[in-house]
Structure 1
Amino acid sequence: MTAQEKQMALRVRDGLSNPEIGARLFLSSRTVEWHLRKIFNKLGISSRRRLGDALSRGGQP
């Protein structure tokens, strides 16, 4: 996972919405959504709910 993807994943884990993440990282919510799809694919997950578990495993599927 890239550094930017890790930042987004941590913010999702902390409960921020896509618009909130976008505002903090100076990105559109659509760009955040695109990155999250890439993150989910890399981690082999399909939802925000599973992100915390995936990150606690070290970000590996």
Structure 2
Amino acid sequence: MRLTPREQEVLSHVMRGRTADHIGREMGISARTVTKHLENAYRKLGATNRVTAVLLARQLGMI
């Protein structure tokens, strides 16, 4: 279970409390694409929300 660099980047922004709109503007992608990256990360990590995804990714040294 590996996160793509984009999924890792999105989770890094989420860890700092950014919204999908804010992340999208910073990364030059749509908020929908940000949401899709999050959904993929949730699936790979077995998470159901942002907080759990960030915690698991941090524990696994992914972000």
Equivalent in the alignment of 1:23: 25
Moved runs in structure 1, 4+ residues, more than 6 A? none
Superposed CA RMSD in Å reads: 1.5
Structure of higher RCO (CA pairs closer than 8 Å, 6+ residues apart): 2
Alignment gaps of 5+ in structure 2: none
How many residue pairs are counted as aligned between the two chains? 60
Residue deviations 1:31-61 (CA, integer Å, cap 9, x gap): 111111001000100001212311221157x
More moved, 36-45 vs 50-59: 50-59
Q: TM-score if structure 2 supplies the norm length?
A: 0.85
Change (3 A) 1:36 1:59: farther
Equivalent in the alignment of 1:8: 10
Deviation of the 1:5 alpha carbon: 0.9
Q: TM-score if structure 1 supplies the norm length?
A: 0.88
Alignment gaps of 5+ in structure 1: none
